Structures are given as C-alpha cells and as structure tokens.
Chain A
Amino acid sequence: MRRITVRSTPVLVILAVLLTFLITAGPIILAGANPIAAYAAYLVVPLTSQFTLLEVLVSATPILLTGAAVAIAFRAGYWNIGAEGQLLLGAIAAAGIGTMVGDLPPVLALPVMVVGGALAGAAWALVPALLRVRFGIDEVVTTLLLNPVALLLVNGLLHGPWRDPETGFPESARIAASAEFPTLIERSRLHIGFLIAIAVIGVAWYVLVRTPTGLRLRAAGLSPHGARFAGINVSRTLLGAALMSGAIAGLAGVGEVAGIQNRLTSGISPGYGYTGIVVATLGTLTMPGVALAGLFLGDLTVGASSAARSLGIPSQLGAVVQGVLLLTTIALLTQRRYRARAAAPPAAPPAAEVASG
C-alpha cells in the first residue's frame, strides 16, 4: 500500500548508470576498445591527477548551473528546455559588459557583469513563461525553439558588429582584465564560477526545502490544482521559477565567457543547457542530486576526451553515454512513478468510474 519512498531513488539512479554502461558497451566494442578499460578511463582516470581533477571541476561548473536551473523549473512544473539559449544570452551580456567595464575595479566590474548575465538569461526566459502563464502555450516547444534563435544571435553578433577587429575572426574582443573571473588555484582553469555554482545550488536548496516560497513552488509543481485551491498563485510561482531558471542558466554563460574563453565565441557552449537536463534528471531534481550529477558528468566529460587520446575511441562516445544515461534515468524514474501509482489505494479510478454511472 505504501508508496515507494525517496530512499529508493538513489538506487534507481545507480541502476540507471549501470544499465547505461551495459547499453553503451556495444558502441565501445564497435569502436574497438574494451568496455571495462573505457569506463575506467571515463570515470577513474580523471580522478587520479590533480590537473585532471581540477578539470573535472571546470567541466562541472557550467552544468552544475544549468542543472540547477533546469531542476528549479522542473520542480515548479515548468518544463524549461531553453537553458541553452538562456546560457547564450548570459554569455552575450557578459561579453558586452565585460568589454565596457575596463575602467572599473574588479569588485564593481564582476558584480555588474554577473548581474547583467543573470538578467539577460531571465529576459530570454520571460517571453515563453508569459506565453505559458497567460495563454497556456506549451513552454517545451517555445523554450526549445528559442535555443537556435539565441545561437543565431551569437553568430550574428560575431560575424557583424562584434567581429574581432584585430584578427578578423568571428570572435568578440577580449573582455577587460578587470572583468575576468579570478582563478581559484594557480596554473589551473578553475575559476570563481565554480564557487558561484556551489553557492547557487546551496541557496536553491535552502529556498526549495526551507522557505514558504520553495514549498509553494514544489506544491505548484506536484499538483497545480491542489496548489491553486490552497490559495497559491500558481501562475506567479511558475513565472518566478522560469525567470529564476533563466537567470541561473545565464550565470553559466557568464562563467564560460569570464572564466574560460574571456570572449564570446560561437562555440561557447557545446550544449551545456541540454546537459543541464541530464544533470537535473539524474539528480532527481534535488539540489544535492544536481551537485553529485554535475560532478559525475564533469568527470565523464574529462574522461571521454582523455579516453579518446589513450584508447583511440571517438570522444563523441562521451556524449553517447550522456544521452543513454538520460533515457535510462527517465525510464527508471518513470517506472518508479507508475509502480507507486499501482501500489496506491485503488480507490480513485474506480470511484470515478462508478460515479459517472
């Protein structure tokens, strides 16, 4: 009779990971490698040296943020698939502001750029959110379709007004030194964006679990009707969650511009927004889960590129593993929901059936 408790969720996620390894063993064998060796290269090797360990954190930084962004929206029942576009808008804003704040000291330049990037991400999330709340237009479609639009905007800028005047490459000018994210450890690429990501996840956890706002957001996501009935303004909650989600995704773009590339490039995001969906799902939409899943996928990303070198298998196999992981996780978690429903007291459907007769 009892619903399957949350405790079993981590077990299901681990099962999903194992199942993914089983499924992706096929392509790895086709690529001519031993699957066991490949997984060791994917997961263990990156953790064995300080350099690769820090690279894992560098890779995790943007997807921790997009993962948190997606998880917050999903918890509210707002299916934001547009973290990629929101990230790109954050990156555009960071590059724009970053080149203009050369006269300001970092203590001013950095906050201005961070806030600007967050606002830009939120702005990109605003229109689909309004369409959903006001007219009931499916946000899955609108947020998804705005992603290529954002990329076109990036390319339009880079091939037009923002083209690097010195090299002529389609890249923006380098941002001012005062706008660059300081690195956390000498001779590594690990920058303060990682700390921002951890802080965002911490705050998001606190808000979701400990505040009335978070409880309202969760209630709205779990049962919009029940939440509205209890006097919760579901529309406003969705709008807030969507904007917050866009802002956090925007921060991921700021981090890549200010911490890694120091300029806007058309390849600023190899799909971090979409990876965020994997992170959020694998993290079962909880903030501790997002933190673990982000680090796990960061590990996998670093491992995939080093495995490409050491084992001679295509680095794209890393993306294959990610994709399969998303599918297995969703499949297993859906299974859990169905089982929970089947195990619930069967009063509701038959009662409805009888009542209509």
Chain B
Amino acid sequence: MTATSPALELRGITKRFGDLVANDGVDFDVRGGEVHALLGENGAGKTTVMRIAYGLTQADAGEVLVHGQRIDLRSPRDAIAAGIGMVTQHFALVAPMTVAENLALGRATGLRLDLDDARRRVADAADRFGMRVDPAARVENLSVGQQQRVEILKALSRDCRVLILDEPTAVLVPGEVDALFATLRSLVADGLAVVFISHKLAEVRAISDRVSVLRRGRLVATVDGDTNERELASMMVGRPSFGVERPSDAGPELREPVLRISDLHAAGSHGLEALASVTLDVGAGEIVGVAGVSGNGQTELVDVLSGMRAPSSGSIVVGDTDLTGADPTRMMAAGIGRIPEDRHASLVGDLSVAYNLVLERLDDFRAGGRIDGRRIREHAVALIERFDIRAGPDDPVASLSGGNIQKVLLARVLSRDPRVVVVSQPTRGLDIGATEYVRSQLLERRAAGAAILLVSEDLDELLALADRLVVLYEGRIVGEMPTTGVDVDRLGMLMAGRGEAA
C-alpha cells in the first residue's frame, strides 16, 4: 500500500454537549496497515470522536476525510459506504440468530438473505485471519469474545478498510485479549487500518504502532507505540492543579475505623467478577478517595455499599453492625448515607423535591395513617434553604438542573447526619459553584466526624478532598497512598494497571 493519504483522517473535530466540550479541535489519522490507539481516561472524549467518525454523532466543527476525500457523515450508513466499520462496546447482534444470519443481515440489500455468501465469508476469515467461529452457532450461545469476533466479521463483510474498536478488551478475559490481538495483527498485515480505543497502557503498548492521547477533549500528543508507560501515563492523567481546600489537621494515623470492608467480592452485570478481595477501612473524620478509571469496580463497590447489589463473599461492617448483604433500609439504618454516580436514578424524577427528600424515611413523616404534608413541606423548605437548592418544594425533581438534583440527593443524605458517606462522582457535570458547594459540604461532614468513601475519576477532586487514596483496577485495590506529596506518575501507572512497573 502506498500510504500517501491516510485511510481515515479527522481534522479539527469539535463537539460540545451543552457547556461541556467533549472534543476540542481533535486531529487524528490512521493509515492502512497500522494500529493507531486512542488513549485517555473515561470522559476524555475518545468514544465521542470515534462516534463522529462513524456517523453516530455529528461534529460541531471539523472534517472527516477518507483516503484524502472529504466525506459527509450523516449516519453510520454513510460511514459504512465509505469503508469505515466500528465495533462499539454494546454489540448489535441478534442473539437468537446464527452467526451466518447475523452477517447476512448486515449485508441484506434485496429481499433475499444470502446465507451461502455469509458462510463463505466466515470460512474465508478463518483461513486468512485465524478467526474461528462456527457460522451455524447461535449468537446467544457464544462467549463475549466470540460475539466480538462476529461483530468484527460483520464489519469486514461490509468491506471496511478502517476498523474502529471501542474499548474492545473491556469485556474480555485475558485469553480472549490475546486472541483478539492475534486477529488484529493479521488484519493489519492485510492492510486494514485499525483504531484501538483504550485506557489500558499495557494493551495499548502491546498492539499499537502509534498512540494518540486525549485529555479532557483535547489531543495531548501523538507518539510512537513504544513510548514508555510512565510517559503515556503522565500524558493521560496530566498534572493535577492543586487547588486544595482540605484543612490539614490531625494526622490520619489514629482514626478509629468506622466502615470496615474486608475481602469483598461481587459480580458485575456481565457476570464477571467486578470486585475481588477488596479490603478497606475508613476512619471517623477521614475521606478515603477511590481512584481509578471507571469500569474497574467502582460502580459495583458503591452499589454493594448502597444495598443495591449483593456481594458474593466478604464482609461490610459499620461500627459493630454487620451489613454484609443488607438491603438499602438496613444500610441507612446503620448510618450509611449514599450518593451514587447516577443521581437521576437514585431519585424519583416525577415526584416533587419535598417527597424525594423524605422518601427514605416516610415513617418519620406520618400523622397516624396518613402522610404529614405540612411537615414534609416544612422539612423541604428548611433543606432547600440550608443546601441552597434552586427549586420549590413542589417542583418535580426531573425539572431541576443537574447541580440542583445533586443538591437534593446531598440534602437527603446529609440531613440525616450519616456516620458513613459513600459518594461517587459527586461533582460530575456540575458547574463551578455547585462543585465547590458539594465539596464544602463533604468537608463539613468530615469535620463532623463522618467516615467518607469518595469515588471519583477527577484526580483534582480526590487530591483536594481525600486524606488518602486507594487505586482500584480490575476490581482490586492495587495501591494505596497518602494524598500529601502524591506521586502523580505512580498514580497514573496504577490506574492504568501497571502497578508492578512503578
């Protein structure tokens, strides 16, 4: 291949969602015969920019070129016609149908399904790329790795010359990762251009010819695939700016543990183990930050502590109360206040602010057999005042802005003086004012002696609030460190799964 013009080139891609700039003038290109990795933390804009290249999202500015020709992408149909294929994190396969049927569906143009052609393509792919799949197997009976292979086959059967893989290893077990990489190498040898989206350093280094690092929507740099991990990690994470607000008070050594988690295991939604042997104590008046790229067990950890997911083994103790496998009611009764990342789902959007504020403890707001509307309202008015919620007590929560929804959740939790606060991504999507307010409230609870477990992807936030950090990677705590004098490079390496190399 005379790679004069790249197989796919993006120029100055900019995409905004409301106030949030997901992509800010991103330039990216990939040539036939190479794997070009797109590396970055969650929320860095990797998926967004590739969704634009595949026509799933429209850019606000910038252009997409295929083999030097500018193309107009209004839908994936246009991208497929231009020879671009994408395997997203959620497979688009018809589970009860066979592999051949799924492939034929992807190519169906006329009235007839050409199953013979599909079978030929499966056999051909097995010969040329070593991708073995039984064309007669039903997709629902395949492992996730095999399903992913079917998705790749589907893209190939549409004659794609550029293959975009969005976090392809996130759903795979290690053996399947090796098989995927073998496949990718033979595809690239055949002249295909591959875009590999990931946040895992080891994988990116193992497979990529070039690496582009995105951080907060901006392209940091494009470097060779053999760039050392420490350098990649620091580009990915960036140097946190220290806008520390946390008062430096008594040392954390002698804090009595309030929340004790030991040897906790839990399964994730895919059935794979999402938490493995997590042991962690949080003391009174201490904020322990959980760092890590999302998808490494944070959601499951918060779910388990919220009573929304049963652990498979291990124990959770608050004070003297064993809360292993407790439901939300018992968790709350033991003094755990819960603020998960999905604040919309944690409230009932169609109910009023006032009702949401008391929904956890309706029995405290009853007069005989009926709900005490007057007291519920007074309670709401008081909390709206205290927590600066910009809404009336009767407004449905769903009509509020993200920051005010978070304040409602915060008010519901903190007004009960919890001994333990489990909080995840507390300021994601909030404006500066709301962010500062939420952080100050958490620090106030810390000063009042609460044990706070803070899960966040925002390193600035963790460093500003937490007394010490633990790093979660693939469901395990792979490192622990105090926040004062933190080695950001080491933190980045731990987050990217390279703990032992540090």
- Give residues in A with beta carbon < 8 Å to B: 1-3, 206, 210-212, 215-216, 218-219, 222-223, 225-232, 344-348, 350-351, 353-357
Contacts and interface: CB of A to CB of B under 8 A. Distances in A.
Given A348-B344, A350-B18, A232 B359 contact: yes
Contact of A222 (B327, B340, B349): B349
A351 B399 CA distance: 17
Given A229-B328, A350-B22, A356-B89, 20 more contacts: A2-B399, A3-B399, A211-B369, A222-B349, A222-B351, A226-B345, A226-B346, A228-B308, A230-B328, A231-B327, A346-B17, A347-B401, A347-B429, A355-B43, A355-B294, A355-B428, A357-B22, A357-B47, A357-B48, A357-B51
Contact of B43 (A1, A215, A357): A357
B402 interface: yes
B380 to A, nearest CB: 14
For B166, B306, B344, B365, the residue with the greatest tally of chain A CB atoms inside 10 Å of its CB is: B344
Nearest to B88: A356
Contacts of A216: 362
Contacts of B400: 345
Nearest to B349: A223
Nearest to A222: B350
B43 A344 contact: no
Nearest to B366: A212
Contact of A231 (B57, B332, B347, B366): B332
A347 B18 contact: yes
Contacts of A206: 370
Contacts of B340: 229
Contacts, number: 123
A2 B351 CA distance: 14
Given A226-B347, A228-B308, A230-B328, A354 B20 contact: yes
B359 A219 contact: yes
Contacts of A356: 42, 47, 89
B195 to A, nearest CB: 13
A231 B329 CA distance: 5
Nearest to B347: A226
Q: Give the secondary structure class of A's interface.
A: helix
Contacts of A223: 345, 347-350
10 contacts: A215-B355, A215-B371, A222-B348, A222-B351, A229-B306, A231-B328, A348-B402, A350-B17, A351-B429, A357-B47
Contacts of B43: 354-355, 357
Interface string B335-372: 00010100011111111000100011111011001110
Closest 6 CB pairs of A and B: A357-B47, A350-B17, A231-B329, A230-B359, A212-B362, A226-B348
A211 B22 contact: no
Contacts of B349: 222-223, 226
Nearest to B368: A211
A218 B345 CA distance: 15
B398 A344 contact: yes
Contacts of B50: 357
Nearest to B369: A211
A344 B327 contact: no
B36 interface: no
B292 interface: no
B396 interface: yes
B370 A211 contact: yes
Contacts of B366: 212
Contacts of A351: 17, 20, 402, 428-429
A230 B345 CA distance: 11
A237 B386 CA distance: 33
Contacts of A229: 306, 308, 328, 338, 340, 345-346
A350 to B, nearest CB: 3
A225 B309 CA distance: 12
Contacts of B428: 351, 355
Nearest to B346: A229
B398 A215 contact: no
Nearest to A341: B398
Given A211-B371, A230-B359, A350 B350 contact: no
A216 B351 CA distance: 11
For A206, A227, A232, A350, the residue with the greatest tally of chain B CB atoms inside 10 Å of its CB is: A350
A76 to B, nearest CB: 13
A226 B405 CA distance: 13
A346 B49 CA distance: 20
Contacts of B306: 229
Contacts of B197: 357
Contacts of B344: 348
B297 interface: no
